[in-house]
Amino acid sequence: MDNTDIADLKATHASLSAQISAAESQLAALKESLHATEKLMRSTNGPPDESSPQKWPLLEDEYKRYGRQMIVSQIGLQGQLKLRSSSVLLVGAGGLGCPAALYLAGAGVGTLGMVDGDRVEESNLHRQVLHRTRNVGKYKVDSAIQYLEELNPHPTYTAHREHLSPQNAPDIFAKYDVILDCTDNPATRYLISDTAVLLGKPVVSASALRTDGQLMVLNNPPSVPGDSTGGPCYRCVFPKPPPVDSVVSCADGGIVGPVVGTMGVLQALETIKVITKSPVQETQVSTTGDRPALHIFSAYNNPPLRTIRLRGRRADCAVCSSNATVTLHTLRSGSTDYVQFCGSANSPQLLSAQERISASDYKRISELKESCTVIDVRDQTQFGICKLENSINIPITQLMNETATNTDAVSHVRSLIFPDATRADEKAPIYFVCRLGNDSQLAVRKFKELGFDRNGERFVGDIRGGFKSWKAEVDPEWPEY
């Protein structure tokens, strides 16, 4: 096939892609018009005036749609009416928010709002079940609501195409009854919990990483700060945020789709329980099921679920105690700095420019067959996906743990790198590489502390930007995961 044929194929491909995009846009517009028309029809056939009282509290379609859950004793007709009159906000339209929204919409929650400023990426699709390949590049909230409207046209869906901040959180939260924390970073978790407590909203919070997940219902029942009968908040459970270097995202640590899906479904279930629960009378004693708890899910454990009972509100909590220092004013003014409280999430810059080389520079060195040692500090699973030729795999966790506990750390690490003892005293440089160029910097620091640079005689540094830069600068076909 010559260059002319290839050019023709590319032109045909571009033309077909443009036609498909135009057709999808037209289809989306038609669906939006259809949805608006259906809403207008429902409002026209909605509750009649006093001169023509409505015989049944739900529409005929709603009885058919929700009948299977209404005959469950814990729900019933009254529970369904509570769901229809409720409003729920999901902060995050990702791995947790998608399955939670799916089941809440299916259950008939009256108003569903979603807050997320991100757009759909291909790496989302294995677990974020509301998004489709054709929606890559689209706002997640728009992609999710498009699916939900097809599932159930009855609820009102509201898209908040923005990231949550201390300034916008109070105004957004004020419109909803229950808040779902479907995020993946500590700073936003504290912000969600604080805002919900100050506005009297219960929070259903979940998290998931690798094969494990956690679930809590916070500020339930919701009470004003200083009222000890209210449920604990996120600060009560975790008064201090975790160390910055211990926080691992799904992008770095990985996630199994059904794990985050399980936690999102459990969030939906807990939300339905919060909404449909009968109010507790003052004379009633709360049951075991009412008490705050942390549910821990481990997919590869047997049994996979266990529960830890939580204490009530902390007397010294910064937001829900009588001596609270976090208020709506401190939120809106910016004096409550969540990034500072939790620590910066920015990538570490531990090394100087002289201690780092670019991916393209390392490529030239490898082509010249210069003597060097390349150490890949990703875990063994990632190393098995793709690796540089002749690289050695020493996971960063193994490197840090063994040098911290081994009394003869230098000799032990030297044996890992140089099985052939005759090479140990060479001055050939040592390069570290990882996925994004963060862990490799930690490894360089540790190796220099152990004296492997021989007081500057041997170069010990990293490949700046890791394999992300390698793909961008050297090998476009390098697997991106």
Which residue positions form the known binding site for ATP?
95, 116, 123-127, 140, 184-185
Q: How far apart are CA 307 and CA 295, in angstroms?
A: 5
Q: How far apart are CA 260 and CA 165, in angstroms?
A: 24
Task: Give bridge partners of residue 160 from the DSSP assignment.
Answer: 115
Q: Which residues contact 228 (CB under 8 A, 6 or more apart)?
A: 312, 313
Task: Give bridge partners of residue 213 from the DSSP assignment.
Answer: 208, 297
Active site residue 342: no
Phi, psi of 254 (to 5 degrees): 90, 165
Sheet holding 203-209, edge to edge: 156-160, 111-115, 87-91, 178-181, 203-209, 212-218, 293-298, 305-309
Q: How far is CA 189 from CA 13, 71, 113, 136, in A?
A: 44, 36, 18, 26
Q: If you search the block for the tokens 């096939």, which residue do you land on?
A: 1
Q: How far apart are CA 63 and CA 67, in angstroms?
A: 5
Do residues 61 and 42 lie in contact, with contact meaning Cβ atoms separated by under 8 Å?
no
Question: Can you spell out the DSSP letters for 281-344?
Answer: PTTSPPPGGGS-EEEEEETTSSS-EEEEE-----TT-TTTSTT----HHHHHHT-S-HHHHH--
Phi, psi of 377 (to 5 degrees): -100, 15
Crossing angle, helix 396-405 and helix 409-417, to 10 degrees? 150
Which member of 182, 250, 342, 386 is catalytic?
250
Phi, psi of 205 (to 5 degrees): -115, 135
Q: How far is CA 318 from CA 230, 313, 391, 439, in A?
A: 15, 11, 49, 34
Helix/strand/coil percent split, the chain, to 5? 45, 15, 40
Q: Binding-site residues for Zn(2+), please?
A: 233, 236, 317, 320
Active site residue 98: no
Q: Binding-site residues, please?
A: 95, 116, 123-127, 140, 184-185, 233, 236, 317, 320
Q: How far is CA 172 from CA 88, 182, 409, in A?
A: 11, 16, 53
Which member of 98, 182, 342, 434 is catalytic?
434
Question: Which helix H or strand E contains 18, and what residues bound it?
Answer: helix 3-44
Number of helical H runs and strand E runs in the chain:
18, 13
Q: If you search the block for the tokens 């009588």, which residue do you land on?
A: 322
Kindly list the catalytic residues: 250, 434
